[in-house]
Amino acid sequence: MTVRAILEQKGSSVFTVKIDADLETAAKLLSQHRIGALLVDEGKGKYAGILSERDIVRACANHGVQALQLPVSKAMTTKVLHCNPQDTVHYVMEMMTRHRFRHLPVVNDSGDLVGIISIGDVVKRRIEQAEQETAEIIQYIATA
């Protein structure tokens, strides 16, 4: 099972926020789209980082309600790892667990952003895979 299969099922939409937008605007976008992270757009097709719900919570914990007026650039994560469509579900689960993040941009071999996956997408796919394997084993045993 690959990242490509996940994107084929869920789609390749990626939501972004401008680097100079405030955290309140970002929080509204997260809520509106019912997602957990936004790529931070610095213009001309370049991304400066990623902003997650967790980043906003940290900013609020450190600065109180005034954090919502801070620019996204003050709260975003700048070191963003990515995966590619050929990576396996097992590989990205391992990467997300090791680095303790829940959202991973997907970049093709040409360096183009082709989607984003979440830990929820990965776990859902892994559960489907385990259920399919179980059904195949049961069928094998029943016909043996």
Percent of the chain at pLDDT exceeding 90: 77
Extract the runs of DSSP E, i.e. beta strands, from 6-77: 16-18, 37-43, 46-52
User: CATH number of the domain that 46 lies in?
Assistant: 3.10.580.10
Residues 56-114: tens digit of each pLDDT: 999 999 999 999 999 999 999 999 999 999 999 999 999 999 999 999 999 999 989 99
At residue 128, the pLDDT reads 87
Contact 84, 106 (CB under 8 A): yes
Q: How far is CA 114 from each of CA 19, 22, 84, rounded to the nearest angstrom?
A: 20, 26, 9
Domain count, the chain: 1
DSSP-derived letter for residue 63 is H
**pLDDT of 44:** 76
pTM, rounded to two decimals: 0.84
- Which residues span the domain enclosing 112? 3-143
Q: Which residues contact 103 (CB under 8 A, 6 or more apart)?
A: 36, 37, 50, 52, 116, 117, 118, 119
